[in-house]
Amino acid sequence: MKKFVFNNETEGIYPLTVQIIGYIKNIAKDIVDDDADFRIKTILIELLTNSLKHMGTDVTNIGVDLKSNKLYISKQDKGKPLQINTRQAILTWPLLTNKLAQNEIAIYGDDFGTLKGRVKNSNHLEFFTEDFDVQYVSKETVMGLNEHYGLMIIARASDAFDYKHKPGTGINTFTSVIELKQR
Amino acid sequence: MILRTHLLDNALIVDIQLKEANLSNADQFKAELHSLINSGNKYVIVNFEQVIYVDSSFLGALVSALKLAMNNGGDIAVVGLNSDIRSLFQLVRLDKVFKIYTNTQEALTGA
């Protein structure tokens, strides 16, 4: 796995994104088409933005790995664990057993879709989205729009996206997986 | 100021003078756009021509401004999106919410 260091400065987001995409295009020469390029760029920008929001001045590690045409992009840090304010409660890590029993947690959403988390164990949440086909966009639809898109964007741009918290070390890892297609 | 504005016909053209539309300027963008809408500008065309990428924070600010505009009986159209930004709008379904045009002239004629 190739590692890149993000210093959590806004000015570093775009140059690091360009650098990592350059590396990915080099290791996955013929399998990064325009769609994959957009998805990778979007995921990187949102992972780095997420880090900027939650990490302060510490550094964040970005890992890139390619195995059997699957691209793994991970973000690892020792910042605060992922905080999710669901309509019912604020999630804390390790997840409480009543959350485990729910299996799926609605994180946020609007008429167009919901971001959900599937509980894999008390320290592992797998994100996915439920999308709805909206035929008519009313004023009420607009007024109900979500204004927080970060995790939703990564979940939609990825083929798989999860979060793991490691108790003891306090390490948080987000991993996005993109299945690259041979052209 | 990150927004440069001028009136054309009955619309306010708002040029975003940023290359990177991200977390560091989303709050200022939101405040400036809200102020323009609260000043009575009903139809606003936001021009992204100079912007190379948009992050989730900036999108959230744009959505917040659309809610304000619609509450005031107005609307926001967006123009000048590069292919990545247009794809991002599609990814979060905002292409179904905002009127998207290639350029200002097209937006003014509602093409």
Residue A99 has pLDDT above 70, yes or no: no
Q: Is the peptide bond before A94 cis (omega within 30 degrees of 0)?
A: yes
Interface probe for A, chosen from B34, B56, B75, B76 (most Cβ of A below 10 Å), is B56
Residue A85 has pLDDT above 60, yes or no: yes
Structural domains in chain A, sorted by start: 2-77 (3.30.565.10), 84-169 (no CATH)
What is the distance of C-alpha B6 from the center of its chain? 14
Q: Residue A93: what pLDDT?
A: 87
Q: Residue A174: what pLDDT?
A: 97
Note whether A145 contacts B97, CB cutoff 8 Å: yes
Note whether B97 contacts A147, CB cutoff 8 Å: no
Residue A5 token pair? 């260091």
Residue by residue, DSSP assigns chain B as --EEEEEETTEEEEEE--SEESHHHHHHHHHHHHHHHHTT--EEEEE-TT-SEE-HHHHHHHHHHHHHHHHTT-EEEEE---HHHHHHHHHTTGGGTSEEESSHHHHHHT-
CA gyration radius, chain A: 17
| Alpha helices, H only, A6-157 | 13-27, 34-55, 97-102, 139-143, 150-157
Count Cβ–Cβ pairs < 8 Å, chain A vs chain B: 77
Q: Residue B111: what pLDDT?
A: 57
Domain B3-109 coded CATH 2.40.10.10: no
Domain map of chain B by residue range?
A: 3-109
Q: How far apart are CA A15 and CA A3, in angstroms?
A: 15
Mean pLDDT of B27-42: 97
What are the tens digits of pLDDT across the range A6-42?
A: 999 999 999 999 999 999 999 998 888 999 999 999 9
- Examine the predicted complex and report whether its ipTM is higher than 0.90: yes
What are the tens digits of pLDDT across the range A118-177?
A: 999 999 999 999 999 998 999 999 999 999 999 999 999 999 999 999 988 889 999 999
Interface probe for A, chosen from B28, B84, B88, B99 (most Cβ of A below 10 Å), is B88
